[in-house]
Amino acid sequence: MNKKNRFPTLLLGMGNPILSDDAIGVRLVKDFRERLAGLDGLDVVEECSVGGLDLLDVIEGYSRVIVVDSIKTQGGVPGAWYYFTADRLRETMNLTNVHDTNFITALELGRRLGMTLPPDEETHIFAVEIIENLTFSEEMSEPLEKIYPTLANEIFRQISSLIEYVR
């Protein structure tokens, strides 16, 4: 483990708190931090808005990472959420510059450069389907706000059982 990290597990809230629904990961992890206070072996970063190669500096040294983020798919139902590990992600085939580096490509490059990063099967991702991520607002869309309490409880149960499982 990298000396800068005293904890084996990182719970990471991804998103931008002033871009409407994009704040869902940040908001959920902020709520989860309070519920998980005092749990040994867990480090919590509520707000992370970097991606690609910059994300490697955030997760380096952890043996596992749990990411909570937003996702916007065609035909997706707001508030639906998905769970998968990094080994289920596909690599970008058309990498043209560092700004196009997706998560799995960044992980692979970091490992090739000798960084200590969690393996794909210990990189857990929870993605919540959103409506709006381009409007500056500290408020989420009404459908997401409405389902938030239920959504938070469902994801929290899954993360709690995952944390217990991976310890």
pLDDT tens-place string over residues 78-118 = 999 999 999 887 543 334 444 457 888 889 899 999 999 99
User: What distance in Å separates the CA atoms of residue 76 and residue 113, rounded to the nearest whole number?
Assistant: 36
Q: CATH number for 10-166: choose from 3.40.50.1820, 2.70.170.10, 3.40.50.1450, 3.90.220.20.
A: 3.40.50.1450
Q: What is the pLDDT of residues 109-144, one digit of tens each?
A: 999 999 999 999 999 999 999 998 888 999 999 999
| Cα distances (Å, whole numbers) of residue 31 to 20, 28, 154, 166 | 17, 5, 13, 21
> Domain extents for the chain?
10-166
Tell me if 50 sits within 8 A of 106, measured CB to CB: no
- pTM for the whole structure: 0.87
